[in-house]
Structure 1
């Protein structure tokens, strides 16, 4: 795939894109669909091949109750020999009651085998704070022999600040430790429209672990920041982390890339070059609620590193 032309969307009208490269050599793609009513998967041997790959709808929303509205930001992971999908959903009768949910595939072909519902992601024993309010954008990563879950959660209702939290996992469906607040919207660029930190994604390089995140409302002001820590440090210790003072990726009007964010990471076909998969619009002016404008397109950029090993996000 020509990853140099970052103005060209990989897949149109797919927000919150996530690409996972599996040991079978295939790339697996999922994202939020504009109707927010289902979870789809597609796979291909190359990144570019995902564009025209067959789409498989592997799960549909419920008609009522939990998981009946706002099916957002699915991610597919292969853990302990099984496929899992993590996603957020709310309820028709309470559309902002977003919580993280988990699906498990009963076979080894996630496009064709049955997916079963494991229910809501569970907090650790004794943790009465996690997943009790507006919660979404869960991602899974491993570090130093431990598996972690990172997610966004608002405390105090829909219009409160959205913070990022981190915890060790006991299983694919439950946390092992109480939540640790990784970051809250501190800076002006994280507070435009709404106070938001969300959409975490993880990349490592030269002994460091980096967690990118998205900030502000979902229009042209949407942008990305980054946390960093030593891989060998205690990731559940606030003193281990440093936050970028300024956005690492933001709107570029000249290139007609507006509101870039909610990225994931994968690797190019060469097995070496890291890629950032993100969404952005081609225009700034949006009629109505930005959440329901369908034209957030999935795009891909190659990641380079500076002399210190920090990832660079450059159009």
Structure 2
């Protein structure tokens, strides 16, 4: 059965089995000896990264630090923290670098700060209302020439002027083909929406724009207009000869989600015709993982520079009392961006809280990943949905010294072997299930940089793929077996 024909229903026994296989591989990889783990491209973090921090922005600077800022629930100040790793931001001390005015402009609703380093100086872009008119939201800029933006002073460079004196927010900046651009969200007179997306060339300073302003998109689709007609929070990812512009849509409750515009890197980003809008959201609520309203993202890069990281906020509950903006519990989260063979990003679903999941790709079959399908575990390229090939690494169900792989999109279902075939099935609590779903981590049979998973209750038997399916079979010592029983973590 082709992947595109899989119905969106709970997994059959084949699908759950596949989930279990992937989960097991993930667990083993995480617990591998340091040498093998370091040689793999796996990237793992623990979510949430920060409680009560919305609209997160993480910037990796050339000084070796990650800088993190976000909206605080009091909407009254701008905070900043830094660490040498993304996970380190979770416990890094936080510094207040600026507070709202007590009157007039920049006196209320301090929203969505972003930190950038431009021409040797630090800049923070943010939105703010007036103390006497909190919904008169406009975009403003702070500047610091200090080497360390946590300790240096900040100068207010004022408001970013746009063609209309209307609701405007979420300024961000990027460079394409040597030209720096400003992106933002604004309410345009004559268009009955909360906000649309706009782009212009940056002017002589990082707080001015110049030339024509282009409207890139207006929220018109059903998933962009739930609760409110919103397109906001733009962020740009450049890869594979294209510009990928994500944005947030709909109300800031469980309906909040990410859309995406795509343009060739060689095209003029100031031409609206250069951009194509995805017909469906690219990242949305997942009841299965308990994550609601993911949105207002930014992008950063992993510590080894090899993986793009999606940074976003969400809540771990659906129902909100009153205005969602009054609910303080949006949390900053991170997860790895995966890439399809056609060069487009696959964000998957917002993963469960805790350690981020991993994928196991075959050492011997290029592009093949362990996935679950109708409970059966198999090897497949370009897995759709991505979460079918993502597994949580957990302590082995049979106890210390083993690992188990839990399905990301079907929590409580584990990769296990039954009749020497690999399945993803619900943990029934029996000792047999625990043993079948537990594996011993080994250095990859095919050598450094790979991992292999040995059955806990059948020593000498390893998880391997054969003829497109995944089995637990005895190591026969051949090169073909070693390659099919060795996996790369990603």
TM-score exceeds 0.5: yes
- Equivalent in the alignment of 2:259: 225
Quote how far apart the aligned CAs of 1:121 are: 1.1
2:211 equivalent to 1:177: yes
- Equivalent in the alignment of 1:310: 344
Contact 2:43 2:302 in 1 (8 A): no
Q: 1:157 to 1:120 in 2, by over 3 A?
A: farther
Q: Tell me the matched-pair count.
A: 308
Quote how far apart the aligned CAs of 1:155 are: 2.3
Paired with 1:156 and 1:205, the residues of 2 have a C-alpha distance of 35
- Equivalent in the alignment of 1:73: 112
Paired with 2:187 and 2:58, the residues of 1 have a C-alpha distance of 26
Paired with 2:289 and 2:298, the residues of 1 have a C-alpha distance of 21
Contact 2:45 2:87 in 1 (8 A): no
Paired with 1:27 and 1:157, the residues of 2 have a C-alpha distance of 41
Quote how far apart the aligned CAs of 1:63 are: 0.4
- Equivalent in the alignment of 2:281: 247
Structure 2, unpaired ranges of 5+? 1-29, 31-41, 350-490
Quote how far apart the aligned CAs of 1:156 are: 4.2
Quote how far apart the aligned CAs of 1:95 are: 1.1
Q: Encode CA deviations 1:23-46: one digit per residue, 9 max, x unaligned.
A: 001000000001000000000000
Quote how far apart the aligned CAs of 1:158 are: 11
Contact 2:230 2:251 in 1 (8 A): yes
User: Counting helix residues as a fraction of each chain, which structure ranks higher?
Assistant: 2
Q: Encode CA deviations 1:122-174: one digit per residue, 9 max, x unaligned.
A: 34xxxx33xx1000000010000100000000124997331000001012011
Paired with 2:129 and 2:192, the residues of 1 have a C-alpha distance of 16
Contact 1:96 1:158 in 2 (8 A): no
2:52 equivalent to 1:18: no
- Equivalent in the alignment of 1:141: 174
Quote how far apart the aligned CAs of 1:305 are: 0.8
The one of 92, 96, 109 aligned to 2:131: 92
Q: 1:45 to 1:157 in 2, by over 3 A?
A: farther
- Equivalent in the alignment of 2:94: 55
Paired with 2:127 and 2:227, the residues of 1 have a C-alpha distance of 22
- Equivalent in the alignment of 1:297: 331
Paired with 2:190 and 2:86, the residues of 1 have a C-alpha distance of 38
What secondary structure, in the 3-state scheme, does the structure 1 residue paired with 2:90 have? Answer: helix
What secondary structure, in the 3-state scheme, does the structure 2 residue paired with 1:176 have? Answer: strand
Quote how far apart the aligned CAs of 1:186 are: 2.0
Structure 1, unpaired ranges of 5+? none
Q: 1:136 to 1:307 in 2, by over 3 A?
A: same
Contact 1:134 1:158 in 2 (8 A): no
- Equivalent in the alignment of 1:213: 247
2:103 equivalent to 1:64: yes
Kindly report which structure 2 residues correspond to 1:101-120, keeping only aligned pairs within 5 A, or say none.
Answer: 101-120=140-159
Q: Encode CA deviations 1:246-268: one digit per residue, 9 max, x unaligned.
A: 00000001111000000000001
- Equivalent in the alignment of 2:312: 278
What secondary structure, in the 3-state scheme, does the structure 1 residue paired with 2:325 have? Answer: helix
What secondary structure, in the 3-state scheme, does the structure 2 residue paired with 1:177 have? Answer: strand
The one of 229, 237, 262 aligned to 1:203: 237
Q: 1:14 to 1:160 in 2, by over 3 A?
A: same
The one of 291, 316, 338 aligned to 1:257: 291
Kindly report which structure 2 residues correspond to 1:115-126, keeping only aligned pairs within 5 A, or say none.
Answer: 115-123=154-162
Quote how far apart the aligned CAs of 1:307 are: 1.3
TM-score normalised per structure 1: 0.95
Paired with 2:137 and 2:191, the residues of 1 have a C-alpha distance of 10
- Equivalent in the alignment of 1:237: 271
Paired with 2:58 and 2:225, the residues of 1 have a C-alpha distance of 28
Contact 1:134 1:157 in 2 (8 A): no
Contact 1:136 1:151 in 2 (8 A): yes
Q: Encode CA deviations 1:237-293: one digit per residue, 9 max, x unaligned.
A: 121110000000000011110000000000011111000000000000111110010
| Rg (Cα) greater in structure | 2
